[in-house]
Structure 1
Amino acid sequence: MSVDKPVVVYGVSGYTGRLICEYLRELGVPFVAAGRDADRVRAVVEKIPGIETADYEVIGVENNAAALAEAFEGAQVICNTAGPFIKFGPEVVEAALQIGAHYTDTTGEQDWILAARERWGDKFAEKDLLLAPGTAHMYTTSEIAANIALEPGGYDTLDILVLWKGLPTYASTQTIFTILKADWYYLEQNKLVEWDHLSAFNVSVPGYHEQGVAVPWGGMSHPIWFQNDPRVSSVRAIGGVFDRAVMNGVADTVKMFEEQIRPLEPAAQEEALANIAASLQAGMPPRENPRINRSIDSVHASGPLGRSHVVIHGNSNYKQTGLLQAFAAFSLIQQRPQRVGFASACQAFGYRELLGQLRGFGLVSEPIVTRN
């Protein structure tokens, strides 16, 4: 069994997978929509606006490396949305490596990004392939802002804030609870330093009078992407949703985990967290409305003699993720990325190029840049 389409989107029965397919259709890229249940995948894909104009097929495949490699043979790119990735990602990465395909995913799990770098980064580089976990709004749009902030040079510290308005998907909720078990890190003088899981911050939100609440959110991707960047020695990234009540609930949940669930055996931890996650978000949230679902990516860069602040206002953060994934695939089937092996989306495709795509589809504003 093999495919004759260049791109596979795996996990299409979920919210983000559908959006990737939607933007692949708009970019004119033939694709395979795949998941463990072909009927569920087909039901989702058939609701995509204009899907009758797309060149696609639907397949079902179980989540093991051999089956995935056999099913996806012939593809050039695998876009993986089936999380939590620390649980289900290794099989998909192994399949991509086996068939010689580039790999991207939408993870927000810092422990998975670290694992991917250590286990497969060199192997992908040896095959001239890209391994780009974490290609998604909450990490890539703010990474774009960070690179713009660093443009003049002379800065060595990044302070990153990501806020969005909306509801997490089922998969995102599962991920949020999965990362509670992991260690979270920020970068301090080129070394990864562990966060206190109970950390929470009142933050100034650009463009708003009311303060927000943000948390380390599992450590975020940025300390890993910038760890070996000679421009930067320290990176802290925090994030959350605009709703203070929701974020206060997140802080309470983290505290509950530390006090009541962390002492349990691993299997009991898994069961308790899965039950909590399912009770909070068991279905698919409504399609995003750009008037409601807004995002803010704010980055301060600082150095001994200067400061730089970049803000990107946007909308529809899941649509941003869908477009970033689709453009990554669109680019990879046409040309070699700027970096192979383990790399972020900005490192692989260029932050100005990614910004142009988000601007072109009306998902973000022109960055607001302040320097002194």
Structure 2
Amino acid sequence: MRTEPTGKPVVVYGVSGYTGRLICEYLREFNVPFIAAGRDAKKVQAALDKIPGLDTVEHDVVEVSHDVASLTGLFEGASVVCNTVGPFIKYGPEAVEAALAAGCHYTDTTGEQDWTLHAKNTWGEAFAEKGLLLSPGIAQMYTTSEIAANIALETPGLDTLDILVLWKGYPTFASTQTIFTILKADWYHLVENQYVAWDHKATRECVVPGSHGTALTVPWGGMAHPVWFSDDPRVANVTATGGVFDRAVMDGVVATTGMFEEQIKPLEPAAQEAALADIAAGLQSDMPPRENPRINTSIDSVYASGPLGRAHVAIHGNQNYKQTGLLQAYAAYSLLQQPPKRVGFASGCQAFGHRELLGVLRQFGLVLKPIVTIHD
């Protein structure tokens, strides 16, 4: 175990968490040397010890403080930073500033629309000027549905996206923290190329493709799609909602949102944060079990429409956290070999191609072939 940077091409920051460990697992699959970093080296090592066969790829463990200077020193000599330390609106700026200073591409697994917007507006141009990628939100909850949206948009003349993301399982500790952190932010969907705020109490009852059932979904902080497609000339309108299949969990999310609006929102910011952290810790404080492909299924569904056309794309998959780990590892693997398709702020599909990312998910058995229905 080391506590100093060792010149590996990829740094995974936040490895003591569930998703960070999965990224390392898939970096091993791609035979990419990496540094596994976190604020507690013992916790990082304990996470790595659970990965079978990790000794077949070069890697080091580094303990680092969460500040720009320390992270810059860690990132120097690397090419790619994969960040999983969230909530990102709270902890992301230091990692992005350090990646920019060290000349590294930056990706993360955020589920926060406000962070995605902030990253784009604050650092997008600076990363572009250096020929670097800034890509927050490469993760199943956004990227797999983004793949479906881009497949639908292969049919010309469609300008409106209605996006549904559902998965079966329970959020990790970090994801739970994010769910409640985003309650403090404004949420947006895209209407005629303009951001329009959601009502925080909004819900949608959605038909689940491939079943006779429905699911309760929420805006989930607005999701990243309205931000990604805001500069896409093909798209004028984006609505995206998501959730888990377990209705009891979603009922709890809706109830907590209502309680926040009524009881917590009037408090001072510090009191808000403390109250939300307590709620999140009470719901999920332990590492969830490893995903089971028979149990932890997912569905990403996109309806695209225009004045004279319709398309529907559904991607059935499994193990959404493994999808995230794979997408992050592939992004790093690709960036070590060739420049991204777009520098500066870009989504996963904009940076690497939606068909390419779909191929990787299919290669590792995490999604079925998309079901595409077109009416024109």
The TM tier, using the shorter chain, reads over 0.9
* Counterpart in the other structure of 2:232: 229
Contact persistence 1:217–1:238 (CA under 8 A)? yes
2: CA distance between counterparts of 1:189 and 1:318? 33
Give the alignment's TM-score, normalised by structure 1: 0.99
Shift, 1:71, TM fit: 1.8
One-letter identity of the residue aligned with 2:69: A
Q: What is the identity percentage for the equivalent residue pairs of Structure 1 and Structure 2?
A: 71
2: CA distance between counterparts of 1:230 and 1:137? 24
Name which of 210, 213, 233 aligns with 2:213.
Answer: 210
* Counterpart in the other structure of 1:28: 31
Shift, 1:322, TM fit: 0.2
Name which of 269, 274, 277 aligns with 2:272.
Answer: 269
Contact persistence 1:7–1:75 (CA under 8 A)? yes
Runs of 4 or more, structure 1, over 3 Å off, are none
Q: How many residues align?
A: 372
* Counterpart in the other structure of 1:137: 140
1: CA distance between counterparts of 2:47 and 2:225? 32
Contact persistence 1:145–1:311 (CA under 8 A)? yes
1: CA distance between counterparts of 2:52 and 2:18? 14
1: CA distance between counterparts of 2:107 and 2:374? 34
1: CA distance between counterparts of 2:355 and 2:292? 26
Contact persistence 2:206–2:217 (CA under 8 A)? yes
Shift, 1:179, TM fit: 0.1
* Counterpart in the other structure of 1:128: 131
* Counterpart in the other structure of 2:296: 293
* Counterpart in the other structure of 1:61: 64
2: CA distance between counterparts of 1:356 and 1:339? 19
1: CA distance between counterparts of 2:340 and 2:265? 41
Shift, 1:2, TM fit: 4.0
Q: Does 1:79 align with 2:82?
A: yes
* Counterpart in the other structure of 2:169: 166
- Describe the SS at the equivalent of 2:365: coil
Q: Does 1:118 align with 2:124?
A: no
Name which of 304, 308, 311 aligns with 2:311.
Answer: 308
* Counterpart in the other structure of 1:180: 183
CA RMSD of aligned residues (A): 0.6
Contact persistence 1:184–1:194 (CA under 8 A)? yes
2: CA distance between counterparts of 1:92 and 1:265? 27
One-letter identity of the residue aligned with 1:371: I
- Describe the SS at the equivalent of 1:300: strand
* Counterpart in the other structure of 1:333: 336
Shift, 1:130, TM fit: 0.1
Structure 1: 5+ residue stretches without partners: none
2: CA distance between counterparts of 1:72 and 1:156? 40
Contact persistence 2:167–2:297 (CA under 8 A)? yes
One-letter identity of the residue aligned with 1:113: T
1: CA distance between counterparts of 2:245 and 2:322? 18
2: CA distance between counterparts of 1:11 and 1:335? 25
* Counterpart in the other structure of 2:105: 102
Shift, 1:56, TM fit: 0.2
One-letter identity of the residue aligned with 1:272: A
2: CA distance between counterparts of 1:156 and 1:319? 31
Name which of 231, 254, 258 aligns with 1:255.
Answer: 258
* Residues 212-260 of structure 1, C-alpha deviations (whole Å, 9 max, x = no match): 1000000000000000100000000000000111111111110000000
- Describe the SS at the equivalent of 2:231: coil
Contact persistence 1:11–1:17 (CA under 8 A)? yes
* Counterpart in the other structure of 2:247: 244
Name which of 311, 322, 325 aligns with 1:322.
Answer: 325
Q: Does 1:150 align with 2:153?
A: yes
One-letter identity of the residue aligned with 2:309: G
Contact persistence 2:299–2:317 (CA under 8 A)? yes
Contact persistence 2:203–2:218 (CA under 8 A)? yes
One-letter identity of the residue aligned with 2:193: N
- Describe the SS at the equivalent of 1:295: strand
Contact persistence 1:9–1:78 (CA under 8 A)? yes
1: CA distance between counterparts of 2:100 and 2:240? 30
Structure 2: 5+ residue stretches without partners: none
2: CA distance between counterparts of 1:46 and 1:72? 23
Give the alignment's TM-score, normalised by structure 2: 0.98
* Residues 18-59 of structure 1, C-alpha deviations (whole Å, 9 max, x = no match): 000000000000000000001100111011011121210000
- Describe the SS at the equivalent of 1:198: coil
Most deviating of 180-189 and 204-213: 204-213
* Counterpart in the other structure of 1:370: 373
2: CA distance between counterparts of 1:88 and 1:243? 30
1: CA distance between counterparts of 2:241 and 2:84? 22
Shift, 1:313, TM fit: 0.0
1: CA distance between counterparts of 2:157 and 2:73? 49
